[in-house]
Structure 1
Amino acid sequence: MEIISVSLHDLRKMNNSEALILQGCGGDLKEWVDGINDMLTEIGILQNESRFEKAYSFHNEDLTCLLFPFDDVQLDIGKLAMWRLHTHEQFGGTWLSDYVPNRLGGFVLCEEECDESEEMGMEMM
């Protein structure tokens, strides 16, 4: 299992992905990932012995957050959506596609970044 630290800007570039974000994950992040994997397996959300093998950590608004990408896991998305709603007060769970637009100002596309970089480069000349 791998936990990768990412920046808020990195999150803004994940526009072709979906993931579960848990907010306020204090302490040992490995314990959080193991606990979430165990919990979601026990209640039938993670299926066919699938587990989140990769998670991302980031800091925003004085909170440590974990992002669990949906790539390479088999899950019951309907059950996960219900679990997220029922545990929102406890875990602050949200989707990546909601978090980035509402907390970080939206996703950025490579073309936008490239255009901005070129404009800034032109201004510096």
Structure 2
Amino acid sequence: MKINQITLTDLRRMNGKEGLILQGCGGETQEWVDGINKMLTDKGILLDNTKLEHVSVFQNDGVICILYPFEDVHLDIGKLAMWRLQSYTAFAGTWLSDYVDNKLGGFESEQTDDIDEGQAMKL
């Protein structure tokens, strides 16, 4: 399992992806990852022996946060949504898309190098 350090700009570039962000995750990151994976497995949220892997750590306003992406994982999203709400006071969990929209001003728009000449502005 690899733990990446990412920036707020990296988060804003994750348009189209989803995951769980836990806020206030001080201490050893690997302990957080192992503990959350065990907790979600025990509660029947993580299925088929999958784990939330390829996690990323970032800091915003002095708060250490961990992003658990939903890539390559089988989970019961309904149970996860309930767990997130029930555990909010402990983990301040939020979805990646909500975090970026509410704390970072939204995702960066995709920029392309292709310019439609019919749309190009003449100076």
Fraction of identical pairs, as percent: 58
Asked whether 1:108 is paired with 2:111, we answer: no
* Distance in structure 1 (CA, Å) of the matches to 2:109 and 2:93: 25
Structure of larger gyration radius: 2
Cα deviation for residue 61 of structure 1 reads 1.3
Total equivalences in the alignment: 113
Q: Distance in 2 between matches of 1:51 and 1:95?
A: 17
Q: Distance in 1 between matches of 2:93 and 2:27?
A: 17
Q: Which has the higher helix share?
A: 1
Q: Distance in 1 between matches of 2:74 and 2:82?
A: 16
| Partners of 2:82 and 2:61 in 1: CA distance | 26
Q: Give the distance between the partners of 2:100 and 2:34, measured in 1 at CA.
A: 25
Deviations 1:68-122 (A, max 9, x none): 00010000000000000000010000001100010001100231xx68xxxxxxx
2:32 maps to 32
C-alpha distance in 1 between matches for 2:96 and 2:6: 14
* 1:29-76 deviation per Cα after TM superposition (whole angstroms, max 9, x unaligned): 000000000000000000010001210000001100000000100000
Alignment of 1:1-125 (within 5 A): 1-111=1-111
- TM-score w.r.t. length of structure 2: 0.89
Asked whether the 8 Å contact 2:53–2:69 carries over to 1, the reply is no
Structure 1 stretches lacking a partner, 5+ long: 116-125
**Structure 1 residue ranges, 4+ long, deviating more than 4 angstroms after superposition:** none
The SS at the match of 1:57 is strand
Extract unaligned runs of 5+ from structure 2: 114-123
